[in-house]
Amino acid sequence: MNRRNAIVSLLLAVLTVSMVPCWAAEQPKLILQITVDALRGDLPTRFPKMLGQGGFEYLLEDGIHFTNAHYQHANTETVVGHASLATGAVPALHGMVANVWFDRELDRLVYNIEDFDSNLLSTYADVNAKTEIDPTQKVAKVDGRSPQNIQATTFSDELAVHFAGQSKIFAVSVKDRGAVTLAGQSGKAFWFSKALNEFVSTTYYYDEYPSWVVEFNGGKPALAYADKSWELMHPREQYLFGDADDREYETDFPGFGRTFPHAYGQADDKYFGTKLTLGPAGDVLTLAFAKTLLLNEDLGQDEVPDYLAISFSSTDYVGHLFGASSLETEDNIAHLDRTLADLFAFIDQQVGLKNTLVVLSADHGQPEMPGYLDELGIHTGHIFDTEALDKAPAMEALKKQFGIGEELIQEYFTPYLYLNNELIREMGLDQAEVERAVAREMVKFKGVATAVSSSALRTANLPDTELMRLILNNFHPKRSGDIYLVLEPNVYINDFDGLVVASTHGSPWRYDTSVPVFFAGAGLSSATVHRAITPYDIAPTLSACLKIKAPSGAFGEPLAEVLGK
């Protein structure tokens, strides 16, 4: 046994003395999986003055807190992380390599959970209307959503298999991709439509909504925020960033502003639904729907374990607009803490926390705003301009070398460059040679840390470094582009769902891979664990606690501290 393993074994032995394992307790009636979008690993404890009782305090004092959890894939985007949490697999195995990818066979951009055969169900939408593809466009506008693109089973799928379909399985989020991934193929997913201001689903899950969904949406809870604002929860002097509200590098979303209070606007404002998700209101609405769901679907009320996944999205939106070190993020954490306290109290009342196995983590971390780092004298690089790549002198010289007179880089969709492969074939050029040549030129660009060709990834002809392993874990031969582009730390592409923002996640650097992992409830005793783990360990751990088989592509291992072994 090497020194590291000996230390880990000793630490586990000490921890096990005071821990009650999940398998020693009665089988939980409910598995509650909480995902907080962009909750970087340090954020639950960064603002202790903002925390009350029963929220993060419950997880920190009564749960098992893993402080050193990092993803092992390079593209830390929303769907990639959610699918990894659901399946316990890296994107190379579950296939969700990015929020969007360019499909060579379809010759268009694909949204990760799009499904033309599953139409949006809504009070207002025609569910029989089929989405048509405009052949002149590279992007298909489709409202249909389903898990059909996920290429591995989820924990929720395995729960359904083991208990012969008797487990009730649901997932709720503001983001469609936050709900669909965790519900898997066997569950039912709901998400918030910013256009309709209601929670929606598709014909993949229902022919028509249950009456309780119609009643909830009919009550129009989102409209309660009309003409109101996101206000600070506490007096300004209590905040670490209380004097840093108005900073020019923060995003000034029209009508929402850079400073408190942030107005949600009128209900007929076309951006009203969007503004609700840019602050704590989105999480509160998500919780209200989840509570209504739990009551009406009788979750956790019999001997067959049920599953409820809730993905809270506000932390991500706030981070994109205002940064991790901002008054907005600090106050959002205060609101999130109260939302979690409300959730845990409700679960305790309806099911009992002793009967509920709770796990909380995040789909990715988040960076700091470049402007904030600049204020502290920390070098941040610059905003990276992807539009200039093909027109740069180095690329023009490369095209001349290969005799190419038109664009060689066909598309860039984070994190992949897509080359003009049809042109490469027509000219009789060697695809691998062109990819390698372009990758060599890419690393000469300011702000690029490395560029790796898909030809090299297919043959695994790579240096054995942590960065290369993360890139390889993200590689899918049919969905990944021709070159994986890694920007240097704190260099950003300032685009988020079409909105110009000051920072975006998606890198392989530690601030983006870092997430918290908490297990609580179901008789577990408290512990703080500092050894390195991965979020892929969550699904196999849940499977081990329930004594069911792990998901088909599970990459992680059950966590000994939760199992008490």
- pLDDT class for 23, splitting at 50, 70, 90? low
The pair of three-digit structure tokens given for residue 105, joined into one six-digit string:
């066979």
Mean pLDDT of 353-371: 96
**DSSP, res 144:** -
The CATH code for residues 3-373+508-563 is 3.40.720.10
Rg (CA), the chain: 23
Whether the per-residue pLDDT at 9 is higher than 50: the answer is no
For domain 386-487, is the CATH number 3.30.1360.150? yes
The pair of three-digit structure tokens given for residue 426, joined into one six-digit string:
């027509």
Mean pLDDT of 449-454: 96
Contacts of 528 (CB under 8 A, 6+ apart): 64, 65, 67
Task: List alpha helices for 409-537, DSSP H.
Answer: 421-426, 431-442, 454-459, 466-473, 510-513
Indicate the domain borders of the chain: 3-373+508-563, 386-487
Mean pLDDT of 145-162: 98
Q: In this predicted model, what pLDDT tens digit does every residue of 286-306 receive, in sequence order? A: 999 999 999 999 999 999 999
Structure confidence at residue 160 (pLDDT): 98
Mean per-residue pLDDT over the chain, rounded: 90
Structure confidence at residue 17 (pLDDT): 37
Mean pLDDT of 3-31: 56
3-state SS track over 385-414: CHHHCCCCHHHHHHHHHHCCCCCCEEEEEC
CA distance 246 to 120: 40
Mean pLDDT of 198-223: 97
Instruction: Indicate the SS3 state at residue 483.
Output: strand
Mean pLDDT of 518-533: 96
CA distance 505 to 320: 8
* CA-wise closest residue to 553 among 177, 35, 204, 96: 96
* CA-wise closest residue to 358 among 65, 19, 142, 143: 65
CA distance 499 to 317: 11
Whether the per-residue pLDDT at 10 is higher than 80: the answer is no
List the end-to-end C-alpha distance of the chain, in Å, as a whole number: 18
Structure confidence at residue 496 (pLDDT): 54
